[in-house]
């Protein structure tokens, strides 16, 4: 049984395999715009990424509401029965607007995600440290409690940023291990089942995160594209100290042939293989 009465053990969720997860994130068209597809133009076509998500390594595909609707229609139209489990990202924003501080409004309800889209999990971005933090905490409360009623996992994208911390003399950036660990702890405190955090640059930094989450599952944010070797080393560093996998977009869909990297990620995340031996 899980930590909450209506939540089954998350290890029984389709988004988890052998205790870990590899979430293929494809919400970049909302957050960053088409620029993220320029290095690999075919990645602008959602169906290309949907198909990449059929790789055995992928335990969930994270989509905004519109692409989630497209995903379900694509599966139906093409008779796809081996697509990745669906994680609906409930909030998001563009980088076009001028804002006073970080805020990510909801675009989808938990009810619609589950009842209309058949979501296996839901995701929510939290910007702790923003002047809009209080509002986002209230939204997350409603999201988390609704998800409990449906018995589906909640994944928090925990990215501390905003005027509240950026104006501090002690703030050294979004990958500061203390900042990352605080963001991870908020996932535990507010009731997430999985927390997605930026890699703080070292294994010791990730260990600081693991030390404060009380056994809650943690996944590393993939971030900007880098070499296979550097990327795999970072993922392995987190797995070695208790991390539970990865939520990754650009490091997959910006590659011409992502299958080879997914093969190696599968070995590292689910089998504990050292990438130097692959």
| Residues catalogued as catalytic | 196
The DSSP annotation for 229-270 comes to: HHHHHHHHHHHHTT--EEEESHHHHTSS-THHHHHHHHHHHH
CB burial class (10 A; 0-12, 13-18, 19+) of residue 64?
Answer: buried
Kind of pairing, strands 21-25 and 86-89? unpaired
Distance CA(120)–CA(193), nearest Å, equals: 13
Distance CA(136)–CA(37), nearest Å, equals: 29
DSSP state letter for 170: T
How many C-beta atoms surround the C-beta of residue 1 within 10 A?
7
Which single residue is written with the structure tokens 């790789």? 55
Distance CA(269)–CA(20), nearest Å, equals: 7
At 202, list the tokens.
């070292």
The residues, ordered by sequence, that sit 6+ positions from 75 with a Cβ below 8 Å of its Cβ are 81, 83
Instruction: Count the alpha carbons within 13 Å of 254 in the hemisphere toward its beta carbon.
Output: 19
């Amino acid at each position: 049984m899980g930590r909450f009465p209506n939540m089954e053990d998350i290890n029984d969720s389709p988004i988890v395999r052998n205790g870990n997860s590899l979430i293929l994130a494809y919400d970049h068209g909302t957050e960053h715009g088409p620029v993220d597809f320029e290095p690999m133009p075919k990645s602008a076509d959602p169906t290309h990424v949907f198909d990449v998500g059929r790789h055995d390594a992928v335990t969930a595909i994270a989509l905004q509401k519109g692409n989630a609707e497209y995903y379900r229609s694509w599966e139906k139209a093409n008779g796809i029965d081996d697509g990745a489990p669906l994680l609906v990202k409930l909030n998001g924003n563009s980088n076009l607007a001028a804002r006073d501080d970080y805020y990510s409004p909801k675009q989808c309800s938990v009810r619609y995600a589950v009842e209309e889209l058949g979501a296996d999990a839901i995701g929510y971005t939290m910007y702790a440290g923003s002047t809009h933090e209080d509002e986002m905490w209230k939204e997350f409360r409603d999201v988390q409690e609704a998800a409990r009623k449906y018995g589906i996992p909640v994944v928090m994208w925990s990215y501390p940023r905003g005027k509240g911390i950026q104006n501090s003399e002690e703030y050294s950036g979004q990958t500061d291990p203390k900042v990352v660990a605080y963001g991870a702890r908020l996932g535990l405190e507010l009731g997430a089942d999985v927390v997605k955090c930026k890699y703080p640059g070292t294994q010791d930094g990730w260990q600081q995160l693991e030390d404060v989450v009380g056994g809650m599952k943690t996944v590393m944010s993939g971030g900007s594209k880098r070499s296979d070797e550097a990327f795999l080393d970072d993922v392995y560093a987190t797995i070695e100290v208790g991390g539970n996998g990865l939520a990754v977009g650009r490091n997959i869909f910006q590659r011409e042939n992502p299958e080879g990297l997914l093969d190696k990620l599968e070995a590292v995340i689910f089998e504990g293989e050292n990438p130097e031996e692959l």
